[in-house]
Structure 1
Amino acid sequence: MTRALLIVDVQNDFTEGGALGVAGGNAVAAGIAELLSGEAGGSRQSAGSHDYALVAASRDWHEGDSDNGGHFAAPGTAPDFVTTWPAHCVQGTSGAEYHVALPLDRIDVHVRKGTGEPAYSAFDGSTHDGRDLAAVLAERGIEALDVVGIATDYCVRASALDAVQAGLRVRLLSDLVAGVAPESSAAALRELATAGVEIC
């Protein structure tokens, strides 16, 4: 079975010290780097980079001069951290860049999402040449997808669900994700398992 890896939103603003830093984000970035190095042991070794026909990575890529369709909380109002958020991952800022630990030379496809609108799933974004992720995976004959990244309860969840909808066999590598909150992350994992995602 032809398998790809999807790295969801491992960006500076989503790791410790960022505008929406998630606890464990730095460790996720380091773990993904280890996975791609092929030097990891145990379950990671069986899903090593030599098994991946393609490595894709998504990034939030929000506009700095708009609320991005209501995704950013209005000035003077507090975000609810459910549908509205503080400004984050604004194009051209260090917060929008990939975490420094990610080996960019191992990433074959880059997807940007959330430009001017809320977008949680990597499947809502597009590559630099305007293709969506589903089209790229289909072109490469990808049948199975491993999903890792940030945040378990938001963009990882949405991306994995869309991957299932696209007809892919999906695994989530649970030691390479980090969530916003323990309760919502646990609920997301239950939802994904029910949808047919294999939690590894």
Structure 2
Amino acid sequence: MGKALFIIDVQNDFTEGGALGVDGGAAVAAAITEHLRAHADDYTIILASRDWHDRDNDNGGHFATDAEPDFVTTWPVHCVAGTNGAEYHPALDTTRVQYHIRKGQGVPAYSIFEGRTEAGSSVHNLLDEHGIDTVDVAGIATDYCVRASALDALNHGQRVRVLTALVAGVAAESSEAALAELAHAGAELV
């Protein structure tokens, strides 16, 4: 069977200076690039997700347009399709990424499994097509989209490893709680 790498939401809006910048996000982008240089051949497929929100609506209530965001279910405008904020961070080299997954088009979306390629393929189908049974997870943010993606991979029967040196979270406490939850659910923290 095969192994996949999920690179979750390493985008300008989720790194320092972005609309929802996470401390350490730029360093994670650079570290993932180094990991790819050393280990890309270890993976059958490499997938990278991006929030790719609609410009002309609140994306199913995901954007707080009429009130202050609660930072739980509503957020400031971020990762709008076609903007610099939605682009991958420049320190992330995506040349080895075979599948680019866009998620959150008109709806809230946290997990890579909620997105699709431009051609319309789902992550679940890609994993099946390539005989994937193991997924390594890296990216941003540990306590939100990394967590949701890893949990969904476990729920889809994958063996999951979270590469803890290659993730950054919104807050230390919630990131630690997310990692503990993932370990309890069966993920290996590497």
- TM-superposed CA distance for 1:74, in Å, is 2.2
Letter in 1 for 2:55: G
Q: 2:57 aligns with which of 46, 49, 66?
A: 66
State TM-score, norm by structure 1: 0.93
2:46 aligns with 55
1:22 aligns with 22
Tell me how far apart the structure 1 counterparts of residues 65 and 80 of structure 2 sit (CA, whole Å). Answer: 15
Tell me how far apart the structure 1 counterparts of residues 93 and 139 of structure 2 sit (CA, whole Å). Answer: 14
- TM-superposed CA distance for 1:131, in Å, is 1.3
Runs of 4+ in 1 over 2 A off after TM superposition: none
Letter in 2 for 1:70: G
SS of the residue 2:113 aligns to: helix
Aligned ranges 1:32-181 → 2 under 5 Å:
32-38=32-38, 48-75=39-66, 77-181=67-171
1:44 aligns with none
SS of the residue 2:137 aligns to: strand
- TM-superposed CA distance for 1:105, in Å, is 1.1
SS of the residue 2:132 aligns to: coil
Tell me how far apart the structure 2 counterparts of residues 101 and 55 of structure 1 sit (CA, whole Å). Answer: 17
Letter in 2 for 1:128: E
- TM-superposed CA distance for 1:49, in Å, is 1.5
Unaligned runs of 5+ in 2: none
Deviation digits for residues 136-182 of structure 1 (CA, Å, limit 9, x no counterpart): 01101111000000000000000000000111100000010000111
Tell me how far apart the structure 2 counterparts of residues 166 and 174 of structure 1 sit (CA, whole Å). Answer: 21
- Of all paired residues, the percent bearing the same amino acid is 64
Letter in 2 for 1:50: D
Unaligned runs of 5+ in 1: 39-47
Tell me how far apart the structure 2 counterparts of residues 26 and 178 of structure 1 sit (CA, whole Å). Answer: 9
Deviation digits for residues 86-108 of structure 1 (CA, Å, limit 9, x no counterpart): 00000110000011111121100
1:12 aligns with 12
Deviation digits for residues 60-106 of structure 1 (CA, Å, limit 9, x no counterpart): 0001110000000023x211111100000001100000111111211
Letter in 1 for 2:7: I
Letter in 2 for 1:142: I
Tell me how far apart the structure 1 counterparts of residues 142 and 78 of structure 2 sit (CA, whole Å). Answer: 17
SS of the residue 1:105 aligns to: coil
Letter in 2 for 1:185: S
SS of the residue 2:16 aligns to: coil
